[in-house]
Amino acid sequence: MDKYHQTQQLLEQLEATMREAGLWENTSPEPAALASTEPFAVDTLTCAQWLQWIFIPRMTQLVLMQAPLPVQFAISPYVEEAMKELPGRASVLAVTLKLDDLFRAE
């Protein structure tokens, strides 16, 4: 299985995990919140919002376009810290760790 298919499967798993944990929202944040230039949009979005409204859509778009995928990234340290008080953190973190591993591998 190529990296694009692996990525898509993990993104789908991340969404399902967030839904199961009650972290998935039905209403998008305001456009200004989504336009943040801070890493992970920490000034305007929660970690779950960033994953749902920015990370998953952008990564999905890269997969669909077969565009170059990121290399050497790690989002799990952010997820681990930002979601430490939330239910479902462990299951979300398990998926992001798999994503980190995929993009660390060459």
pLDDT surpassing 70 at residue 106 = no
Residue 56, domain CATH: 1.20.1440.40
Question: Would residue 28 count as lying in a domain?
Answer: no
Give the C-alpha separation, 5 to 59, whole Å: 12
Question: Would residue 91 count as lying in a domain?
Answer: yes
Give the C-alpha separation, 1 to 73, whole Å: 21
Question: Would residue 31 count as lying in a domain?
Answer: no
Question: Would residue 34 count as lying in a domain?
Answer: no
Domain range for 82 is 3-23+39-104
What is the tens place of the pLDDT at every residue in 4-61? 999 999 999 999 999 999 999 999 999 999 999 999 999 999 999 999 999 999 999 9
Question: Would residue 30 count as lying in a domain?
Answer: no
What is the tens place of the pLDDT at every residue in 49-104? 999 999 999 999 999 999 999 888 899 999 999 999 988 999 999 999 999 999 98
pLDDT for res 87: 87
Instruction: List, as one string, the DSSP characters of 36-76.
Output: --SGGGTTT--HHHHIIIIIHHHHHHHHHHTPPPP-S---H
Model-level pTM?
0.93
pLDDT for res 53: 97
Q: How many distinct structural domains can be found in the chain?
A: 1
Question: Would residue 29 count as lying in a domain?
Answer: no
